Amino acid sequence: MPITKRCQFTDNEIKNAYEEAGSLSGMAERLNITYPTAATWAHELGLTLKNQGYNKPALEITGLQCRHAREYLGLTRDVFCAQSNVSKTAIREFELGNSTLRKGNMDKVMELFKRYRVTFNSDGTFE
């Protein structure tokens, strides 16, 4: 990639590139510069950057609800994991509140509860 100097673009061209692209990576692509260069230029111009990145997924149930429902059904963690096809570590860490489940694993857990006809209420209870 050729070296692109800051003096090749006006402040407005840089601002417009960011606004049109909506992200630093898009700005970098439009101006044919690297991502770190785009970040530096945005900082120098005082651009207000849009918050991007990882957003925690909204969970259908909490780990505590999962544990209580599993225990209510009389299922050990081993049996529950075997039936849902989710790893023991993932379920243990989720139930203890140390991590969240990936969407695919949450879908498997909810499908298993559905087979047992367990429904979860918005107030944290289940039936």
CATH placement of domain 63-115:
1.10.260.40
Q: What is the pTM of this model?
A: 0.56
Instruction: Quote the mean pLDDT of the chain.
Output: 87
pLDDT-derived band at 1 (thresholds 50, 70, 90) equals very low
Residue with the bigger pLDDT between 84 and 52: it is 84
C-alpha distances in Å from residue 118, one per residue of 30, 62, 112, 125: 51, 14, 9, 10
Separation between Cα atoms, residue 93 and residue 85, nearest integer Å: 15
pLDDT-derived band at 3 (thresholds 50, 70, 90) equals low
Tell me the residue length of the chain.
127
CB 27 within 8 Å of CB 15 = no
Domain ranges of the chain: 7-45, 63-115
Contacts of 34 (CB under 8 A, 6+ apart): 1, 28
- For 17-40, what is each residue's pLDDT tens digit? 888 888 888 888 888 898 888 889
Q: What is the mean pLDDT of residues 54-74?
A: 84
Separation between Cα atoms, residue 73 and residue 65, nearest integer Å: 12
CB 118 within 8 Å of CB 90 = no
CB 105 within 8 Å of CB 80 = no
pLDDT-derived band at 58 (thresholds 50, 70, 90) equals low
Q: What is the mean pLDDT of residues 110-125?
A: 90
